Amino acid sequence: MRPNLVAANWKMNGSRADNQRWLQEFRAAPAHCETVVCPPFVYLQDLVQGLVGTAASVGAQNMSDRVAGAWTGEVAAEMLIDSGASWVILGHSERRAAYGESNEIVAAKVERALAAGLKPILCVGETLEQREQGRTQQVVAEQLQVVLQRCPAAQLLAGAIAYEPVWAIGTGRTATPQQAQAVHAAIRSQLAAQDPGAAVAMRLLYGGSVKPANARELFSQPDIDGGLIGGASLVAADFVAICAAAAR
Ligand code: PGA
């Protein structure tokens, strides 16, 4: 069975004081599933230190597709590893929509992350308009295909894929377990067309308004292997409860 994975995406939230309070609560109730915490870049090392002795890993929320050099404001994969991160979220819909990250840029970042030894959480998902037009499967398949052309599924296995319907992110409007399961199953068959073994082993996370109250039902779907948690991950007790729902 695929081990569930739950990742916290703090987005642009937190402060050193908030983070210490969060760590205190999180450490008091250790998670019983594989866990990754993704704070803003500047707090990576604090989280790495704060999570010593727990089973949780640390990840970044983005990175450059370049190796090093004159790219003002960018952060390289090797720098993330040097800071103690082992994961990186790539292609989040907020990066795609607000910072113009195309499928090609996301694919280049995934390739760079894998080359550096980081585990990518590749995010895919449709907007409300695309869903209403009946284009969900097509949009998600395109987002994944561009990555698969550069990075075979067997390589992506180092990380995970997160299906996050854009209309469910931060809106309190979760996809129903059936809606999420349908897209997860489609992603898995797309992977299977390239590599059946990798498709079976790939962890597919759901993201979009996951809360303690709906986590268990979502994670009990056959093709949902954990979650990428935004808002609810900022409250340590809620994140711990979501991790508990993912414990098998
Ligand atoms: P949300 O965010 O849980 O606040 O909806 C999920 C995400 O954007 O990863």
> pLDDT value at position 69?
98
pTM score of the predicted model: 0.98
Pairing of the two strands 226-229 and 119-124: unpaired
Distance from chain centroid for Cα 180: 15
Mean pLDDT across the stretch 153-171? 97
Mean pLDDT across the stretch 58-72? 98
> pLDDT value at position 1?
77
Tell me the pLDDT of the chain averaged across its residues.
97
Structure tokens at 2: 């695929």
**Full DSSP string of 111-160:** HHHHHHT-EEEEEE---HHHHHTT-HHHHHHHHHHHHHHHS-HHHHTTSE
> pLDDT value at position 244?
95
| 160: confidence class by pLDDT, cuts 50, 70, 90 | very high
Q: Is any ligand 1 atom within 6 A of the Cβ of residue 207? A: yes
| Ligand 1 atom at shortest distance from the alpha carbon of 162 | 9
Mean pLDDT across the stretch 81-89? 98
Mean pLDDT across the stretch 124-128? 97
CA of 208 to the centre of ligand 1 (A): 5
Residue from 34, 92, 94, 126 carrying the catalytic annotation: 92
In the predicted model, is pLDDT for residue 248 greater than 90? Answer: no
In the predicted model, is pLDDT for residue 212 greater than 80? Answer: yes
Mean pLDDT across the stretch 29-55? 93
The 3-state DSSP composition of the chain as helix, strand, coil percent (nearest 5) reads 50, 15, 35
| Ligand 1 atom at shortest distance from the alpha carbon of 210 | 3
> pLDDT value at position 32?
79
